[in-house]
Structure 1
């Protein structure tokens, strides 16, 4: 069964590479998620190693640019690796940040307890002030993708229903390597989640591939429910 999943992933690789990415365009101006120097223009922003999109992409690009110009990329990298780990291990924190009953001051207290740098805290505070708390998890994911690319790595997250044996892991790495650019190193994080029932979920770069049995059952259930 795992071999079939890897074949499916290989097919997904081909389809993903056929999709061309568009460049991040447009001035940040007054809508910039982070303060920019007076008179600054989009051209003055430091170019991120990969293009990211959406609202969280704008926040991430602005933070990356600010950190790059202040030589604080290593510090920001450490902050978001820590944040990613904390949010993965303790989903209650995400719920607290999203809870409308939690005040701004309470959110900031939680944030201060995480031991992050001032620049990272400022970026997240702006996220909160703009009532984008629900974007925090995605923002952290996008920033970690940017920082991995800055280290010359391709960040991959793989979820399986049970641990992979050595043979399956080597085959998986071989397939994931096809997503990487020349000289880019794979950084694969594997997680076991029995609730997906089988198959795998793969997040590689900005691509999300769900080949889990649970997602297929849901799709079939939705079809049956719709037809009733």
Structure 2
């Protein structure tokens, strides 16, 4: 995320957090933000539509209402509709990511990005979560997982700027460096 994008996204993320705190719905709003981010990541069409400056604002609002459904809390729906009105919906991803980051800070939670060769089981996720919690001393750990078959086996865990490479590919690379191959 560029500095300019970050500077524009920050006040919106802070505003969403303030609203969620005032309505005592930080956890619920954070979950909806998470689900919405996952949907944007999975659906390139949705992301392209929301970021398209030519697309009609009413159409964007209709899609947001349809995607969120009737059960979604009013604060998140109104917030996303406000982003459309202010021509800032193209920043929805950086805004919601920054919001998630602020929620983690508030709750003393760290984000661990885990890349594995295969999809992790629930048991493996829990093992990684506990290990990261011991390393960081955080109250809680959020995992963001992805799969990269090129790792051959094992995992790479990134916590902020710290990277723990326990992948087979990483081990092979270290051995080749030691052997001077």
Q: Secondary structure in 2 aligned to 1:163?
A: coil
Distance 1:95 1:187 in 2: 27
Q: Which residue does 1:13 correspond to in 2?
A: none
Q: For residues 95 and 191 of structure 1, do their structure 2 counterparts lie closer, same or farther at Cα, with a shift above 3 Å needed? A: same
Q: 1:187 aligns with which of 142, 163, 175?
A: 142
Q: Deviations over 1:187-217 (max 9, x none)?
A: 22211145xx559886645x597x9x9xxxx
Q: 2:95 aligns with which of 133, 139, 143?
A: 139
Q: Secondary structure in 2 aligned to 1:64?
A: helix
Q: CA RMSD in A?
A: 3.5
More helix by share: 2
Q: Which residue does 2:38 correspond to in 1?
A: 85
Superposition deviation, residue 89 in structure 1 = 2.2
Q: Which residue does 2:118 correspond to in 1?
A: 163
Q: Secondary structure in 2 aligned to 1:127?
A: helix
Q: Is the 8 A contact 1:177 1:186 kept in 2?
A: no
Equivalenced residue count is: 152
Q: Which residue does 2:176 correspond to in 1?
A: none
Distance 1:208 1:95 in 2: 32
Alignment partner of 1:98 is 2:51: yes
Unaligned runs of 5+ in 2: 1-5, 170-181
Query: TM-score, structure 2 length as denominator?
Result: 0.64
Q: Which residue does 2:80 correspond to in 1?
A: 124
Distance 1:94 1:71 in 2: 29
Q: Which residue does 2:173 correspond to in 1?
A: none
Q: Which residue does 1:57 correspond to in 2?
A: 10
Distance 2:62 2:162 in 1: 33
Q: For residues 145 and 203 of structure 1, do their structure 2 counterparts lie closer, same or farther at Cα, with a shift above 3 Å needed? A: farther
1:1-228 alignment, distance < 5 Å = 54-113=7-66, 114-115=68-69, 116-160=72-116, 162-163=117-118, 174=131, 178=135, 180=136, 182-193=137-148, 204=159
Q: For residues 109 and 202 of structure 1, do their structure 2 counterparts lie closer, same or farther at Cα, with a shift above 3 Å needed? A: farther
Distance 1:89 1:203 in 2: 22
Superposition deviation, residue 118 in structure 1 = 1.8
Unaligned runs of 5+ in 1: 1-52, 214-228
